[in-house]
Amino acid sequence: MIVYWMMFLVPMVIGLLPTTADRTLSKVQWVMYSITLIILVGLRDEVGGDWRNYISNYEHFNVIDFSDLFLTPHKSDYGFEIIHWVSVNLSLGLYGTNFICAIIFFAGLIRLCRYMPNPWISLVVSMPYLVIVVSTGYTRQSVAIGVFMWGLVDLMQNKNFRFYLMIFLGALFHKTLLIMSIIGYFYNSKKVKFYKTAILTAILLSIPILFLLYFPLYTSMLEHFIYFYIENPYFQSKGAHIRIAMSVIPGVIFLFYRRKWDLVYGDARLWFVITLLVLFLFLFSFFASTFADRLALYLIPLQMVVYSRVLVFINSAKVRAILILMVFVAYFFSLFIWSNFGTHSISWFPYQNIIYSAF
């Protein structure tokens, strides 16, 4: 358990310290801590709720040809399968796959954090659930989330093509990311010229058409997805309402500061769209908790961005300090509650790593 607490407390302590470090020292801090996180997540050993599922589902990868990945329907996604096939056939197994996936995930996470005015606060907010639970438990979707976070920075920089490229690449690891393409569409629908809007609309309309043409080969997979994520009353995500509510709170804070936000950052429409999605998924979680819970993972960046950026609007140093402390305490207790009372948290304990497991 101490490893998880150190992952959380280190950025929290740095976030509480006065920001007097020069740029060179700051970069060194970020590089060193990023490498540490990649090692802790990427080289974990038998950690996470889906660890054994990944091993059993892909144990045949050492006896199939590379071309079979594209010719035979699989339950998984091609981006992950390619990485895992290469890793298995290089005798690196699941460890090599996890390490590469961790690099991709943290590349997106760190880029988004560094883009914020208070980057260490963003990292602290991401740590209890997005990093410790998701990146070590939902490997394929964590990669899609990492790529999505990279794309969000592109979108904030008005690099729309790069955002949609990231959506496509991330969907190779988890197809649910395609749904997040609507964020870019609604963010840009009133900003771009008519012909660009027409092109974006055509792209978005082509996705379900291609889906319908392509997916008859995967009818059983689609039926499996609908049954377990939406229809099955026994397959529910306990705590989904609370986890999504943690995004609702910063969403409400954003709405309060929306006008000032647009004056300072110029991307209020983007986070307004994301806030609306969070509110919709919160309501939807009462009917299909697992489906809403999984989609809401992509919207966790709302927490990271709001708590970092909102400090700019607060003039009083004391009030800013109190707000930072309140945020840190809230996420401290979220980690404490999950680690001690989480339904499936036992799968994350004890933490093991192949570096010291080998000795």
In a domain? residue 196: yes
In a domain? residue 246: yes
- The model's pTM: 0.88
- Indicate if the alpha-carbon torsion angle 51, 57, 59, 61 is positive or negative: negative
Q: From residue 344, give the alpha-carbon distance in Å to each of 49, 137, 199.
A: 7, 10, 44
**The one-letter amino acid at 353:** N
Which domain range does residue 83 map to? Answer: 2-349
pLDDT tier at 204 (50, 70, 90 boundaries)? low
In a domain? residue 119: yes
Question: What does the mean pLDDT of the chain come to?
Answer: 85
Helix (H) or strand (E) holding 32: helix 23-42
Residue 196 has pLDDT above 70, yes or no: no
Collapsed DSSP state (helix, strand, coil) of residue 126: helix
- Percent over 70 (pLDDT), the chain: 82
- Percent over 90 (pLDDT), the chain: 63
pLDDT tier at 213 (50, 70, 90 boundaries)? very low
In a domain? residue 356: no
Task: Give residue-wise pLDDT tens across range 263-316.
Answer: 999 999 999 999 999 999 999 888 878 888 999 999 999 999 999 999 999 999
In a domain? residue 357: no
d(CA 127, CA 129): 6
d(CA 251, CA 8): 23
Task: Give residue-wise pLDDT tens across range 30-40.
Answer: 999 999 999 99
Q: Which residue's entry shows tokens 């027409």?
A: 198
d(CA 219, CA 225): 10
Task: Give residue-wise pLDDT tens across range 55-79.
Answer: 887 877 877 877 777 666 555 578 9
Q: How far apart are the first and last CA of the chain?
A: 20
pLDDT tier at 257 (50, 70, 90 boundaries)? very high
Buried b (16+ CB within 10 A) or exposed e, 252-285: ebbeebeeebeeeeebbbbbbbbbebbbebbebb
Collapsed DSSP state (helix, strand, coil) of residue 353: strand
Please tell me the total count of domains within the chain. 1
Contact call for residues 318 and 312 (beta carbons, < 8 A): no
The pLDDT value given to residue 259 = 94
**What tokens does 335 get?**
């980690």
Task: Give residue-wise pLDDT tens across range 305-344.
Answer: 999 999 999 999 999 999 999 999 999 999 999 999 888 8
In a domain? residue 354: no
In a domain? residue 355: no
The pLDDT value given to residue 277 = 93
How remote is the C-alpha of 277 from its chain's centroid?
15
In a domain? residue 358: no
